[in-house]
Chains A and B, each alone.
Chain A
C-alpha cells in the first residue's frame, strides 16, 4: 500500500522556518550527490566587460572572449579547448537549453560559441541541438547524454526570478503545476530522468538583466540595466544564488529602499536544501570575479 502524500501548508513553513526541516517533513532524503556537494564549495565565475553591450548592441567578439575566459577559469585550464575536453566526450549527444523569451532571449552569439566549442571537442554537429519550447519533441534532447543550460536572468511573475533552475521547466508537460508557493518545487524537475545528472555547464546571462517587472508581460525596458556580465558554473544553484544577490542589490539601489524580489525566489534555497542540487549560501560558494568591477554589486 502506498503512503498517502502529506499535505504541506503555510503552517508547516511557519513551524519549520527553513527548508532543512521542510525536507524532513516531506520525507525527502538527500541524494548521494548532496553529501559530496556539501563537503566542498561550489565554484562560480562572474566575468564582466564594460564594452560588451554598447548602445543596446552586443559585441559578439567580446562576449565570446568573456565566455571562453570564464570557462577556462572555472576549470583551471590554460585555454577553453582544454576545459571543453573535460566537459564533454566526443560521443556525447548535447542539448543546449536556451530561452526564447522575446524581450530578453539567450544571445545567439553565445549559443554559436558554445556550439563551436562542442564541435572542437569532437561532438558531432548532428548530435548538438539548441532548443527551448520544442525540446520535448527534439530527438537530440530525447537522447541527450549532456545538457548545457543557458539563459538570461530576469525577475519573474510566479517564481520571483527566471533562473537557470527554472529554465528546465520545459522538460515537464504541465509547467503550471510547479507554480505553487513561488515555484519552490522547480528543483524536483532536475531529478527527472530526462535531466538528472546530465547538466555539464550553466551560464546565467547577466548582460542586461531585468530587475523588476510590470504588466502581463512582466517587462519594461526601464528595469533593464547594462551589467555586462556572465555567471558560469557547474552548480546551477550557486550560479542562481549569485545572480539573485546581484538582482536584489540592484533593486535596493534603484528603489532607494529594501525592495525584496517578489515573490521570493524560494526555489533557489529549496534546490539546495530540499533537492540537494547545489549550494545556495554565500559561504558555500567560491566566487571568482573577473574583469570590470565598477558597480559589481556583489
Chain B
C-alpha cells in the first residue's frame, strides 16, 4: 500500500512536468506556426516588388541579431516571434515587412504606442504613417512596413501592403482595460502609452535610475498627457497584481521622488510644476509636472 501511495505523487509530478513541457512547447510552436501561416497567406509578389525567397523568423533572443539596439523595446513588451520579409524591385527601394507576434493584444497595442508620431491612417486597429514608415496593430500583432528610400510608388505599395496584411489577420484585439480608467476630459489624442517596463517609462518620462515603481511583466501602466486650456499635465496609472508591491511602490516613490509631498500627496517641484501620488487598492496614480495644483487635483479626483 505504502509503495502505491508513494508512487502516486511521483506519477502526478511527472505528468504535470510533462504537461507543462508540452504546453510550453505547443505555445511556442503555435506562435511560430501562426506567424508562418500568416506569412504564407501574404502575397510574395506585390506590384513591382518581389519577396526574397526566404522569410526570416526571429524569437525573443535571435531578434537581437536582426534589430540592433532597438530589440529591447520588443522584449520589454514580451515579443514572442517576428517574421521578416524583404520585398525588392529593380525599379525602386526595398520594402521591409516585419510582423511581431506580441502574445497579447495589450502588448501589440503597447508597442504601437511607443511611437505615435505621424498621420493617423485607417489600417488595422490603429495605424500611423510617417515618412517612409507605416506601423499598425491588430489582434496580437504589431506590424511595421518601411521602405529603404521614400518614393511615391513605394509609399503607395507600403500602404496597400499594410491593408493586405491587416485583412489577413481576421481577429481583433482589445485595448488594455486600464485605459478605461483614464479621464476623458482633456486627454491629448495620441498621447497614451501603455507599458510595463521601466526602460519604456524612462524613455517617455525619466523617473529614476532604479525601478522604484516596481514595474514588471505583471504590472500594467498607462502614461497620458492632459491639456486644460493652456495648462498641461501627465498622468501615470499603474495597476499592480499584488497589494504588497503596490504599497512598496508608493513608499519608494514617496521617499525618492516626492519626499516633500504634503499630507495629500502633493508637492511643488523644482521647475514650479506640481506632482502628486495616491494609492487606492492596487492602483497607483501619479500626476507628473502639472502646470498648476488645481489641474493636478482635478486629474487625481477620480482616483481618490
Contact stretch, chosen from A58-66, A173-181, A226-234 = A173-181
Interface band, chain B: 35 or more
- Say whether, besides A158-B72, A220-B148, A214 and B130 are in contact (CB < 8 Å): yes
B210 to chain A minimum Cβ distance, whole angstroms, is 5
> Do the beta carbons of B131 and A180 come within 8 Å of each other?
no
> Do the beta carbons of A215 and B146 come within 8 Å of each other?
yes
- Choose among A13, A158, A218, A263 the residue with the greatest number of B CB atoms under 10 Å from its CB: A158
> Do the beta carbons of A216 and B207 come within 8 Å of each other?
no
Answer yes or no: B9 CB below 8 A from chain A CBs: no
User: Once the chains are docked, how many angstroms separate the CA of A215 from the CA of B248?
Assistant: 36
Q: Which chain B residues border A13 with CB–CB below 8 Å? A: 206
Q: Which chain A residues border B68 with CB–CB below 8 Å? A: 101-102
> Do the beta carbons of B208 and A9 come within 8 Å of each other?
yes
The interface size of chain A toward B, counting residues with CB under 8 Å, comes to 29
Answer yes or no: A117 CB below 8 A from chain B CBs: no
Q: Which chain B residues border A221 with CB–CB below 8 Å? A: 93, 148-149
User: Once the chains are docked, how many angstroms separate the CA of A157 from the CA of B73?
Assistant: 10
Within 8 A of B (CB), among A133-187: 156-158, 162, 176, 179-181
Contact bitstring A12-29, B, C-beta under 8 A = 1, else 0: 011100000000000000
A169 to chain B minimum Cβ distance, whole angstroms, is 9
Answer yes or no: A294 CB below 8 A from chain B CBs: no
Contact bitstring B88-114, A, C-beta under 8 A = 1, else 0: 000001001010000000000000000
Q: Determine the residue in chain A with the shortest Cβ distance to B98.
A: A216
Instruction: Give the residue of A101, A162, A181, A220 whose beta carbon is less than 8 angstroms from that of B149.
Output: A220
Answer yes or no: B202 CB below 8 A from chain A CBs: yes
User: Once the chains are docked, how many angstroms separate the CA of A14 from the CA of B269?
Assistant: 8
Q: Which chain A residues border B96 with CB–CB below 8 Å? A: 217
> Do the beta carbons of B131 and A11 come within 8 Å of each other?
no
Instruction: Give the residue of B67, B131, B269 whose beta carbon is less than 8 angstroms from that of A214.
Output: B131
Q: Which chain B residues border A219 with CB–CB below 8 Å? A: 148
Q: Which chain A residues border B72 with CB–CB below 8 Å? A: 158, 176, 179
Interface of A is mostly: loop
Q: Which chain A residues border B203 with CB–CB below 8 Å? A: 158, 263
B107 to chain A minimum Cβ distance, whole angstroms, is 15
B199 to chain A minimum Cβ distance, whole angstroms, is 5
Answer yes or no: A1 CB below 8 A from chain B CBs: no
Answer yes or no: B126 CB below 8 A from chain A CBs: no
Instruction: Give the residue of A14, A15, A157, A180 whose beta carbon is less than 8 angstroms from that of B70.
Output: A157
Q: Which chain B residues border A157 with CB–CB below 8 Å? A: 69-70, 73
> Do the beta carbons of B269 and A181 come within 8 Å of each other?
no
> Do the beta carbons of A222 and B132 come within 8 Å of each other?
yes
> Do the beta carbons of A214 and B133 come within 8 Å of each other?
yes
Given contacts A158-B70, A181-B202, A216-B98, list 18 more A-B pairs with CB under 8 A: A7-B209, A7-B212, A8-B210, A9-B212, A9-B256, A10-B257, A14-B269, A15-B270, A101-B69, A158-B72, A176-B75, A176-B199, A179-B199, A180-B199, A181-B206, A220-B147, A221-B93, A263-B203
A-B contact pairs, 12 of them (CB 8 A): A7-B208, A7-B212, A8-B209, A10-B205, A102-B68, A180-B209, A181-B209, A215-B146, A216-B70, A216-B144, A222-B149, A222-B150
Which positions in B face A, CB cutoff 8 Å? Answer: 67-70, 72-75, 93, 96, 98, 130-133, 135, 144, 146-150, 198-199, 202-203, 205-210, 212, 256-257, 269-271
Which positions in A face B, CB cutoff 8 Å? Answer: 5, 7-11, 13-15, 101-102, 156-158, 162, 176, 179-181, 214-222, 263
